[in-house]
Structure 1
Amino acid sequence: MTRYFFQITNGAPHKDDVGEELANDHAAWIAAKRLARDIEDSLELDGRWNLEVRDGIGPVCSITIESKKLR
Structure 2
Amino acid sequence: MSLPLRITFEEKDYTYIVLTKSITKETDSIRISLNGEEYELCRNLKGDWDDADATVSDHPGLLKVIARNIKLRYRL
Which structure dedicates a bigger proportion of its chain to helix? Answer: 1
| Larger-gyration structure (1/2) | 1
Q: Which has the higher contact order (CA 8 A, sep 6+)?
A: 1
Scaled by the length of structure 1, the TM-score of the pair is 0.34
